[in-house]
Structure formats: structure tokens, C-alpha cells
Structure 1
Amino acid sequence: MCPVSSVDSPRSNNCLPRIVTAVLLFFLSGGGVARAQPTPMSTGSGVRRIEVPPESAPASIEVSISSGLSSTILFDSELAREGVVLEGRERFSLLDIGQTTIRLIPSEGISSGDRFRLTVRFRDEAAPGSATFLLVAHPAKADPLLEVYRRKRGVETYREEAREARAEAQRCREENERLRAERSAPQGLAGLISSGLPGTGGVEGSSDLLKTLSRSPSNALLVRVAFSYRSARRVAVEVGLHCPKDMPPWRANGAMLRGKSGEELNVVQVWQDTPAPSQEYIRVVVEAEATPDAARGPFTLKLWEADGPRTITLGNVIFP
């Protein structure tokens, strides 16, 4: 087993917090101005709302999907079920076509970046008669609910979006203030772990997670060590990965911590030792927000790289 501190590197440039920026777009209008292409509207509740114009051949609507996660598309018009066509249908474990809904779950065989075209036709004769979706595979995240409107929306839906946008803007302001305050101090829980100082500053370490972890057979790298930690307001997972010399360098670009019931922790930073061509042992620390009474059940950790299909999935992650 490789020691946790077998790789030591400066962290001044690697532990900077990931500042999340949000672009909020909403409007309140009583008019019925036609749009030239589908207009996506994201909300703080995880619901996306799309308006498709009455003109023919609207642009494809991009939807994020992920292995094992459910995505539902809700329409304001009845579907012609026989007119629903999904490319690569055999690569989906579920395709459920309802009167006004489509629910799908990709199988474990899809890879990050895979694209599938979904075409739907509507039963009435109103325009547009069809809509096209481009399903794009992501390593860990999926759009849970997409609402598609062909007709003019009511004012109340715009008001709801405005309320959600204001709440999201306030959350982002609070998050940015917290991140700015942290920049003048050691970089949180991940900073202590990367410095080899667990057990200080109110950090509680767990037993070796390798005894209980479950590993996906499609993992890109071997897991050599794994530990979990908890502080007053944060949790963290540290993993040591083996990268063979003949394998291209691997760098973690993002991470997800999902609970048994589907809830996700807010990941605030992903830290990794700077990879070198001769480096076979990589340390990665994932830090997330969690109150003392939260994150008490088993979690699944998923790591992915920036521009490649190689992912790492570890199940049964337990925090102290």
C-alpha cells in the first residue's frame, strides 16, 4: 500500500476554490413575441423550461444525460407515441413514452460525450409538428426535468422563474462572499489534508475506506488508498490512485458525491497533486459542504477528467 504522503507538491496554486458563476436570464412579458429558436430557461429548482417557436424545423434542444440517472421531458401537448424515435435505443435501459411525457435512463455502457438524437411528433396539427433533442452524455450529471412549451406560457410561470432566479442569485452572492473570505485563510478542509495535517483544526479522520468501498469495473485507475474526513461544516474524501507509466496523464476535472436517495452534496473544490510524466501515484481530495447532522449515509463518489472518457466511480463512501 502506498503511503498517503508519498507525493508532496506545492498547493498554493492548486487549492484555489472553484468560483461558481451563474448567468441568470429571465423576463416578464405579456406579449407574444415569437422566438427564432428554442429558448432554454434554467431555474434554481433543477427544472429547465424550453419554448419552441411555431416556425418549422427548430434547432435541436440539448439535454444532459448520465448512466443510471433518470431524465424526464414534460410537454404541454399530447405526443404521437408512434412518432417518437430515439437513436441508439439499445443503449438505454429505460424509454417510457407517456401521453405527454418521455422518461429515459441511459445504460452503463454509454461514455462521456456520446450523443443521441431524440425526435418527437405531436398528435395535434399545431405548429411546430415535431421537436428534436440532442442527448449528450455527462460522466455524472443529468437534467432531471425538462418542460417543453409549444404554446404561449402563462404569466405565472414567468413569475415563478423570476422568484427562482432571485433565490439563485442570492445563493451565488453568499457563496462568492464565503469563497472570498476563505482566500485569506488556509484552503479549508482540503488544504489541511493536502498538507498532511488531518486530526488538527477539528478534523476527524475515518478508518481506511478500502475495507468497505465498492469499485466500478470501468474505473480508469486503480485505487490504492481512500480516507474520509469531517469538520464542523465540511466533509472530504481523499483517494490515492495508481496511474501506470504507459497511460496518458490523468487530471480530475470534476467530482460528484451522491447519496443513496439521490441527493447530491455541494462540492466546493477538487484538489489534485500536479501530475508528472513519471508519476504513478496521484492524490485527489474532494471537499463538499455538509452540516454535522448531514451526510450520514453511504455516498457514491464519481471523478471525471476534462476532455476524455476516463472516469472513477467508488461506492459506499462513509463519512465519520
Structure 2
Amino acid sequence: MPLVPRPLLLLSLLLLRTNVTAQEPSRGHELVQRRVALPQAATGNPVELHIASGSLTALEFDSSVDRAGVKLGDAKDSLELFVVNDRLVMIKPTSDVTAGERVLLTVPFADGMSPARAVFALVTNATQVDVQVQVSRLPRSAEAVQAELDEVRAACAGKDAELASLRARGAATGPSGMILAGTMGSEGVRAKEPTLQPMKLTDGLKADRVTAFRGTGWVALSLMVANEGTAPWTPTEARLSPGRSRAVTVTMKEPYVVPKGMARVVVEFRGEDWPEGSERWVELRDSTGERRLLIPSLVF
């Protein structure tokens, strides 16, 4: 069966909270759930489990345990058998086990079948603590394995469909993407070409023509930028003043505006209210901040 949060884990946490002598769980430890298959593990070394002071470690078995035969090795002063019943063994560390030390926990089974017992090595770990361990001793039927596989496949198929839907939604561009993103409503997109005041060159740059586009919660400016300087120029950031709104995108088709050339630059701003007819200053800068394009008065 899948290793998922179960009533056993809730019981463990409840016991930890309600026991008056329990310590706070160790900080920085990841709480781990595990499954252990004994037919494979019992033929080799003891199964290593990570424990930590202040956290219960619960072992759930699929066959009956010989409760009287459950034994905890040395270091009993730092470990306690907190709960032992037919299918459940809980270990409560009362203090940290010395680093590098292994405390053996032996759990015999009551039915005499093989393997006759399970042996675990309890050790400390700096980052993890095993809070729930499902111990499988009896062989699983092919039907049970197939049923679990079918369940996992069904879950994966559902996730694949959800992922495909999210990818399609994220890949939508143009009007479809704007409608899905809520940036275009019933009013559509409005555009106008504001009148530009005579401009002086700023660091060898000027805007020859500007078109302003408006949607729901956003403004985009399309600027034809002329580079009268001797070096190429690539804008990477833009701002509107007053308010100092930063552009969310600054895009071009070309990699830069060539010297003595012209290229279109589109900048997009979001998240503020820009009343129609409002006056703004527009400033574009390159990545070094050494060259900038300044439009001192733009009404859009």
C-alpha cells in the first residue's frame, strides 16, 4: 500500500504532544516516512533507522509481533520502548544517542514464519528522523502489486493531464494569452500616438515616434529609437516618473540599436493607474547605466 500519512502517524504526533515528558522535536530534522521489506533486509545487515531526541519513531508491521520478546540493546538510558502491541512498536529517544553508536532493536514475530525476527540499528542523523516505518514481512501477491501499480498509473495520468493544461495555458500568447491573464477586458486594447515635444539628444539617443497602448492594468510604449552615437546601444530597463514605475519587460527584435541607425523598443509597465491624459517622464537605460534615453514630457 502507498506510503502516505496515516492514522498511525497522527497517533505518533498526538502521543508526542500529550506526553508530559516529551521534548520539543529536534530542529532542522526532516520527518521521513519509509517502507522496509524484510525478506530482502533480513538476509543482510540490520535495517538502519534514524532517530532523534524529541521525536517518536513508529514501526508498523504487517504480521503479529511477539511483544514479550521485543528487546532494545544498550543505551537504554537514552532510548525507551514507548509503545509495544501486536502490530506497532514506538521508540522514544529520551536523549541523543552518541554519534557513531548503533543501538539494536530486535522484534520477533509470533507466528514462527520466516523471517522469525527483524533487527534494526537505531542511529542518529544530522538532518533526518524516521517517524513512520512500514515493515513488510509477508510476500505480496501479484494481484496486490498490480493493484498498486494501477493506482500509481492512474494518479500519474491525472497529473499528466493537469500539467498539459497548465503548459497550454502558460504558452498562450497574443490576445488569447492576454485574455487568460486578465490583462485585456471588454474594452480591448486602446492605442494612440502622443505628440512629442522637440527633443534634444540624450547621450546620442532620441525617440522619433512613440505609440502608447493601454489594457487592463498595464501600459506599453512602442518607441522608434534613433542612435546618433558611435557605439551600439541596448536598453535593459525603463522607468516612468512620477511614481518611478519600473518596466516589467524591455524588448527588441534586434540585439541593439546600431550606430547611426534606428530600431523599435517596446516597454511594458503594470500594476499602477495611469489616467488618460496624464504626463510622464520616460527613461530608458542600458545595463551599465552610462547611456540613457530621456523623454521629458509624454502625455498618453
Q: TM-score, normalised by structure 1?
A: 0.34
The structure richer in helix per residue is 2
Q: TM-score, normalised by structure 2?
A: 0.36
Higher-Rg structure is 2
